[in-house]
Structure 1
């Protein structure tokens, strides 16, 4: 009896913690929308190719390096990355490294010990705090941002670790999408990083001239939009409502929730073709079970669901009518819509969108078209897993 009472009190506490924490979060939230910029943007889908370019650019830094990752693994790739930062700090380059508290929870102690007395400034983002510990534990900083000398920026789906360069047999090869930005848009990445840095490290560096050098225009019109557990759903909803011909989604986790899903259904009913590309194998428990109830409804309506077969698919891409292309850190799931801090880049240049579309078509060729019957092999065990996935889908 006592155990049941304790369990009841615990459940009530968690529910109240989440509701009140969410209310406080939304009350403090400030939506930030940057203007359209013109930059040169280069997408990367291969980890080895990306990190070769990324590490080379880090080594050429002259003034400052600002880095934010959700995950930094305690492995050979992670330590190569840290070694480069250490070398640059010894040369007098300002280096600031911001990591998510939960995403880097396991190697946090090793990283802090490694970076002691190196000159690198280290901080951890989104540290859980009372009185709403449970809610704050789940509001992760899922952004991946690098800004070098205020002139070169990176953002996208890759973190730092061996799996991202195809050295983990279970998830190899890793298929993702990261973009490199040169031009006006870099100032917005810098602004987002410095705002996150101020919160995590309690140091205000925004608006200092050294971090915002003059930038030239590039060929691609684009817009950087950060989100913090709010606004992303509205952005995607507006884009889906504008669709007249096609909606193409690439995501490792398709758990859209009621509102976005209703918009996708409405789009199909008005004649829009919906294509969704997801992994063939999941990297987290219950993710597939959370997706299948949506797929069972979409497939009979004419949606095409592709399951990537050549490794693990982790890219976050949204293309609307070949007029708007989004690449960023946000998954097409409730966690990114309602909890995570994310950053996405929306691009409007036809030539760039065609380049990304070629990437999608190539990946679809390495995917299996999901059929309705493939989602209907329900056993008592799979039914139980789907009900569990539905109950905790916000936290997957």
Structure 2
């Protein structure tokens, strides 16, 4: 009984830490309204193609390289990444590397020292240690010479180029940005860098050079654990014909579920693409109660079979496409720091829709019968997943 009492007290203290920390953190978050920009955008969906282009652009850097990732692995790809950064530092290029403390936990100092100026983002501190342990910087931003930017779902590691036998092919969506929108990526990196280090690199032309407009209208949306829910709801309410959601984790809030169901009631077709396999415990089971409800309402839900599906994409009719770092789950909605890009260019949106159709062609259509055939212990896993959904 004594041990039970101790466990209950510890759980209560953790809950108090989390709730109080959440309240304090959210009180200081301001809403960021991105400005519509015009840039040239390139979509990458395969890690090898992305990193061939990414490393080539890093090689060409002349003045500075600013990088923020959630995960950087100490493996073959990570070694190549750090070796390249070390090379650029030796050439006199300013390199600033910011990685999430939890996502890249255990990254050896021998590698960190190669990357010029290095810092951990969102290192948990007192007070509210447990809440801050969950409050992760999930953004993945690169800015090269203030002229070229990258944003999306890929991190640095061998699994992202399909070399992890557990996952096989890794499907993700990542943008390359060339044009005036790069300034917004630079400003967000600067804000995150200053929060982590207390240092700012200023607003000189070196970091914010004059940029030409590109061909595609878009808007960046940074969120810090707040306001993403209302942004997604606004997207859903705009839909007239079709909503497409691609996500590795489907754990929506109650308000978003209500918006999706209301959209289907007014005749909007909802299509969801999610992975067949999971990369974290219980995240797959956490989606099942929502999937069953949406299937009954007429949604089309596909499970991707050709490896692991990690893309974060929303398409509203032929009008708006959202690609970025935010998953369709409560952690991204209410805890993580994220960065999304709303794209308004119709030819680009058609390209994204065709890409999603190819993903659907290697997927299985989910049915209610699938859930009826699941063993009883899967229901227990669903219950456990539902209870822990806010932190998954």
TM-score w.r.t. length of structure 1? 0.97
Q: 1-side partners of 2:11 and 2:166: how far apart?
A: 36
Q: 2-side partners of 1:315 and 1:85: how far apart?
A: 27
Deviation at 1:324, TM superposition (A): 0.2
Q: 2-side partners of 1:71 and 1:309: how far apart?
A: 24
Q: 1-side partners of 2:348 and 2:325: how far apart?
A: 19
Structure 1 residue runs of 5 or longer lacking an equivalent are none
- Structure 1 residues 54-105: Cα deviation after superposition (integer angstroms, max 9, x where no partner): 0000000000000000000010100100111000000000000000000011
Taking structure 1 as reference, are residues 94 and 157 closer, same or farther at Cα in structure 2, changes over 3 Å only?
same
Deviation at 1:208, TM superposition (A): 3.0
Q: 2-side partners of 1:88 and 1:320: how far apart?
A: 41
Is the CA contact (8 Å cut-off) linking 1:90 and 1:119 kept in structure 2?
no
Q: 1-side partners of 2:186 and 2:157: how far apart?
A: 24
> For residue 170 of structure 1, what is the aligned residue in structure 2?
166
Superposed, 1:242-391 pairs within 5 Å as 242-391=238-387
Q: 1-side partners of 2:368 and 2:380: how far apart?
A: 20
Please give the secondary structure, in 1, of the residue aligned with 2:166.
helix
Deviation at 1:153, TM superposition (A): 0.1
Superposed, 1:23-62 pairs within 5 Å as 23-62=23-62
Q: 1-side partners of 2:115 and 2:300: how far apart?
A: 51
- Structure 1 residues 255-310: Cα deviation after superposition (integer angstroms, max 9, x where no partner): 11211111101100110000000001111111111011111111121100010111
Q: 1-side partners of 2:131 and 2:84: how far apart?
A: 35
- Structure 1 residues 188-238: Cα deviation after superposition (integer angstroms, max 9, x where no partner): 000000100000011022423311000000000000010011111110000
- Structure 1 residues 31-51: Cα deviation after superposition (integer angstroms, max 9, x where no partner): 222210000000000100000
Task: Pick one of 110, 115, 139 that aligns with 1:113.
Answer: 110
Q: 2-side partners of 1:161 and 1:122: how far apart?
A: 18
Q: 1-side partners of 2:337 and 2:63: how far apart?
A: 27
Deviates more, 1:3-12 or 1:246-255: 3-12
Give the aligned CA root-mean-square deviation in angstroms.
1.0
Taking structure 1 as reference, are residues 119 and 221 closer, same or farther at Cα in structure 2, changes over 3 Å only?
closer
- Structure 1 residues 155-182: Cα deviation after superposition (integer angstroms, max 9, x where no partner): 0000000011111111111010000000
Is the CA contact (8 Å cut-off) linking 2:248 and 2:327 kept in structure 1?
yes
Q: 1-side partners of 2:228 and 2:330: how far apart?
A: 10
Is the CA contact (8 Å cut-off) linking 1:195 and 1:206 kept in structure 2?
no
Q: 2-side partners of 1:115 and 1:373: how far apart?
A: 50
Deviation at 1:115, TM superposition (A): 3.6
> For residue 14 of structure 1, what is the aligned residue in structure 2?
14
Is the CA contact (8 Å cut-off) linking 2:154 and 2:173 kept in structure 1?
yes
Q: 2-side partners of 1:224 and 1:261: how far apart?
A: 24
Superposed, 1:65-84 pairs within 5 Å as 65-84=65-84
Deviation at 1:30, TM superposition (A): 1.7
Is the CA contact (8 Å cut-off) linking 1:191 and 1:206 kept in structure 2?
no
Please give the secondary structure, in 1, of the residue aligned with 2:193.
helix
Q: 2-side partners of 1:384 and 1:364: how far apart?
A: 29
Deviates more, 1:125-134 or 1:204-213: 204-213
> For residue 101 of structure 2, what is the aligned residue in structure 1?
101
Q: 2-side partners of 1:206 and 1:221: how far apart?
A: 27
Q: 2-side partners of 1:330 and 1:352: how far apart?
A: 20
Deviates more, 1:378-387 or 1:364-373: 378-387
Q: 2-side partners of 1:192 and 1:93: how far apart?
A: 20
TM-score w.r.t. length of structure 2? 0.98
Q: 2-side partners of 1:375 and 1:335: how far apart?
A: 25
Count of residue pairs the alignment pairs up:
392
Deviation at 1:114, TM superposition (A): 2.6
Please give the secondary structure, in 2, of the residue aligned with 1:105.
coil
